[in-house]
Amino acid sequence: MVTVYCALYPEAQELICTYHLKKEADRQHFQVFSSEEAKVRLVVTGVGTAAAVAVSETSTLYPPGKTDFLVNFGSCGGCGFSLEEVYLCNKIVDAAGGRTFYPDVLYRHPFSEAEITSFPRPQAYGQMPASLCDMEAATVYQSGSYYYSTHQMVFLKVVVDDGVAGKVSFREFGKQMKTGTARVTGFLDRLREISDLTGGRKAEQLFPAWILEEFHGSKTMQTKLCQMLRYFELTGTDYETVLNGYRRSGRLPCDKQEGKKILEELKSRLF
Amino acid sequence: MTSRKGKRYLKNLNHDYFNPAFTHVYVEERVLKHWRTKEILKRLPHVRVIKIQHYKDIFNRKGQDCISQQKSQSLILAMKEENFFYEGSPLCQSFGNENFYYSSSVMNCIYDCSYCYLKGMYPSGHMVVFVNLEDYFHAVSQFLTEKSMYLCVSYDADLTAVEPLVGYTKAWTEFASENQKLKLEIRTKSARMEMWESLQRTENVIYAFTLSPQKLIEQCERGTPSEEARIQCAIRGVKKGFFVRLCFDPMLYLPGWREEYHALLRRLDKALKEADVCMNDFTDVSVGTFRIAKDYLKKIRRMEPEEAVVQFPFVTVGGTCQYPPELLEKMEDFFIGELEKRMDREKIYHE
């Protein structure tokens, strides 16, 4: 699943249309749109530090797996940057806290990369830093890092204010975000694909839990047995036939003492 | 039984999704103007340079995924401020040398061995290069004024594998050639034949090649050169008069291990015969089965849930995980026995 966090609805609008996202009616604090089919969820966070709450709430409700992605997509300003250009942020400076964050950039992407500074309030003309600037990236990173690995968080920003053109009209803003959205969908599709392909990474239990219960062992014994069965499974050792033999002879299920004996016997099959 | 569909983590993920290695270089601001930083960056002309305050801002971040990072390693150029060398670990062999130390001028490896202790030790899969190598030399020189030193410089990285980028094998070799009280070991899984052309032959530098059976290389030593390539490279070193060590360490258990290690020795015999070299021409040989600190193994098992080689139910002895004694002895005795048929016993190290 790719979860996109946008500060404002006009930033999200085009993505909602592109992926045919439906509004989740039961969400009270933030507007959430999603599609199970597209494997995309989009959250409208509001401006500034409120985004941290949105990330926490959404990530708690839908805990991300090792193969899911968080994408912070939205508008930004940047003196000397081209309008409507999309940037992938490789360095995020929190102007209020003075900390700097570095999302990993492991996946290929078609964007230019840049540093972004997140401010707690909009910056007046002439006060913009040399980097891009916005109001959410740092807070989304900090909150997201409790749930996602450093390579699972992607920050994509569309330049809507170059510090020269003057105040951006609502209509102009919508147009710029539409252009920006068209540029990021290909990359989002790629993230969805990666998420799908790597879905088997979780350290799944390879054997049913009731096998452990048959031994009636202590926690330590269960851990040892678990490790042994995992190894047997990975090396293609047919431990099922062996366990069935114990069952047929009435040695399984068993008490703790007998369980210890069987564990030792299984050990001898390791090598 | 639960399906094992998709069990190989990321292995079905096309490498085209990832950036190639070192497309991103994080550079500490204080070393931006260092001559070695400039040299390294010159060798990586199309990279993105990101300025950082301290390498730990990248390397020690919370929530990193070493396995994913290994697919697209970034480079971090930094300055080492202290602890230029450390006392050798009891898990490592000292080859009978006194004052056994190791040094980490580079942290992390370009190879991706599933059992590597670096995955358990470091929080990141990215590679750190400390550019102030001269400070290492200074610290070692000071130590040498009092005592001799046996220093392993390629434990926490494979220096020879990244030689075209950093040039540290050559730099360490030249330093050793001027300091006879220093004995250096440079361990590698690489097979860079051309290295022998650029390195100075020095009696107190040992180039140690880790050899594994080809089947194990394919299963667990991702990105490393083949068994054949490593053997040929080691032989070339011997023929050129360098001091070359063969390390059959770690020996790893897999079903059919005896045949695999036997086959490795047979192929080695064949290559030696063809090159008119014998086992006694190597400086020495080390043998050791896989062992690792318990905490490191715990972390690696979480990262490599599908790798049988780390999921083996090891026994823990004094905080170290190792094979059960009977298996350990069986493997080591077999291999040492085979080696003894081929070379002098005193050249075989095993602790």
The residue of B76, B311, B314, B321 whose CB has the most chain A CBs within 10 angstroms, and thus the best one to mutate to test that interface, is B311
Residue B107 lies in a domain: yes
Q: How many structural domains comprise chain B?
A: 1
Tokens of A197: 């392909």
Please check whether residues A230 and A133 belong to one and the same domain.
no
Please report the pLDDT score of residue B14 as a whole number.
Answer: 60
Q: For B100-127, what is each residue's pLDDT tens digit?
A: 999 999 999 999 999 999 999 999 999 9
| Concatenated DSSP letters of chain A | -EEEEESSHHHHHHHHHHTT-EE-TT--SSEEEEETTTTEEEEE--STTHHHHHHHHHHHHS---TT-EEEEEEEEE-TTSPTT-EEEEEEEEETTT--EE-----B--SSEEEEEEE-SSPPPTT---SSEEESSHHHHHHHHTTTS-TTSEEEEEEEEE-SSS-SPPHHHHHHHHHHHHHHHHHHHHHHHHHHHHTTT-S----S-THHHHHTT--HHHHHHHHHHHHHHHHTT--HHHHHHHHHHTT-SS--HHHHHHHHHHHHTT--
In chain B, which residues have their Cβ closer than 8 Å to the Cβ of A104? Answer: 64, 68-69, 74
Q: How many structural domains comprise chain A?
A: 2
Residue A106 lies in a domain: yes
Residue B2 lies in a domain: no
Residue B204 lies in a domain: yes
Please check whether residues A187 and A231 belong to one and the same domain.
no
Q: pLDDT confidence of B2, banded at 50, 70, 90?
A: very low
Residue B288 lies in a domain: yes
Per-residue pLDDT of chain A (271 residues; tens, 9 = 90+): 999 999 999 999 999 999 999 999 999 999 999 999 999 999 999 999 999 999 999 999 999 999 999 999 999 999 889 999 999 999 999 999 999 999 999 999 999 999 999 999 988 877 788 899 999 999 999 999 999 999 999 999 999 988 776 678 889 999 999 999 999 999 999 999 998 876 544 455 667 778 888 888 888 998 999 999 999 999 988 999 999 999 999 998 999 999 999 999 998 888 8
Please check whether residues A22 and A131 belong to one and the same domain.
yes
Please report the pLDDT score of residue B345 as a whole number.
Answer: 95
Residue B3 lies in a domain: no
Tokens of A218: 């202590």
The answer to whether A234 contacts B308, with C-beta atoms less than 8 Å apart, is yes
Residue B332 belongs to domain spanning: 21-349
Distance CA B11, CA A199 (A): 11
Residue B7 lies in a domain: no
Please report the pLDDT score of residue A124 as a whole number.
Answer: 80
Q: What ipTM was assigned to the predicted interfaces of this complex?
A: 0.92
Please check whether residues A144 and A222 belong to one and the same domain.
no
Residue A202 lies in a domain: no
Residue A41 lies in a domain: yes
In chain A, which residues have their Cβ closer than 8 Å to the Cβ of B259? Answer: none
| CATH, residue B254 | 3.80.30.30
Over residues B61-80, mean pLDDT: 96
Please check whether residues A57 and A151 belong to one and the same domain.
yes
Please check whether residues A21 and A133 belong to one and the same domain.
yes
Please report the pLDDT score of residue A80 as a whole number.
Answer: 87
Please report the pLDDT score of residue B1 as a whole number.
Answer: 31
The tally of CA atoms less than 13 A away on the side-chain side of residue A198 is 22
Please check whether residues A50 and A124 belong to one and the same domain.
yes
In chain A, which residues have their Cβ closer than 8 Å to the Cβ of B71? Answer: 106
Tokens of A214: 């048959």
The answer to whether A200 contacts B16, with C-beta atoms less than 8 Å apart, is no
Domain boundary among A140, A167, A197: A197
Centroid of chain to Cα B191: 12
Tokens of B235: 């032989």
The pLDDT of residue B6 is above 80 = no
Please check whether residues A173 and A235 belong to one and the same domain.
no
Please report the pLDDT score of residue B74 as a whole number.
Answer: 98
Q: For B128-162, what is each residue's pLDDT tens digit?
A: 999 999 999 999 999 999 999 999 999 999 999 99
The CA distance from B306 to the nearest CA of chain A, in Å, is 7
Please report the pLDDT score of residue B7 as a whole number.
Answer: 39
Residue A23 lies in a domain: yes
| CATH, residue A128 | 3.40.50.1580
Residue A143 lies in a domain: yes
The pLDDT of residue B55 is above 80 = yes
Please check whether residues A117 and A216 belong to one and the same domain.
no
Please check whether residues A7 and A117 belong to one and the same domain.
yes
Please check whether residues A238 and A176 belong to one and the same domain.
no
Please provide the average confidence, as pLDDT, over all residues in chain B. 94
The pLDDT of residue B96 is above 90 = no
Residue B6 lies in a domain: no
Please report the pLDDT score of residue B340 as a whole number.
Answer: 97
Please report the pLDDT score of residue B95 as a whole number.
Answer: 86
Q: pLDDT confidence of B219, banded at 50, 70, 90?
A: very high
Please report the pLDDT score of residue B100 as a whole number.
Answer: 96
Q: Is the pTM of this model over 0.80?
A: yes
Please report the pLDDT score of residue B8 as a whole number.
Answer: 44
Residue A72 belongs to domain spanning: 2-197
More reliable by pLDDT, B165 or B94:
B165
Strand partners, A3: A41, A70
Centroid of chain to Cα B78: 21
Q: What are phi and psi of A214, to 5 degrees?
A: -60, -25
Residue B82 lies in a domain: yes
Please name the residues in contact with B232: beta carbons below 8 A apart, sequence gap of 6 or more: B191, B193, B271
Please check whether residues A238 and A180 belong to one and the same domain.
no
The pLDDT of residue B10 is above 70 = no
Residue A204 lies in a domain: no
Please report the pLDDT score of residue A95 as a whole number.
Answer: 95
Output B330-334 pairs: Cβ under 8 A, ≥24 positions apart: B330/A271, B331/B251, B331/B253, B331/B257, B331/B261, B331/B289, B332/B251, B332/B287, B332/B288, B332/B289, B334/B258, B334/B261
Domain boundary among A148, A170, A197: A197
Please report the pLDDT score of residue A206 as a whole number.
Answer: 67
Residues of A with CB under 8 A from a CB of B: 66, 90-91, 100, 102, 104-108, 113, 115, 145, 148-152, 190, 193-194, 197-208, 224, 227-228, 230-231, 233-235, 240, 267, 270-271
Distance CA A239, CA A131 (A): 60
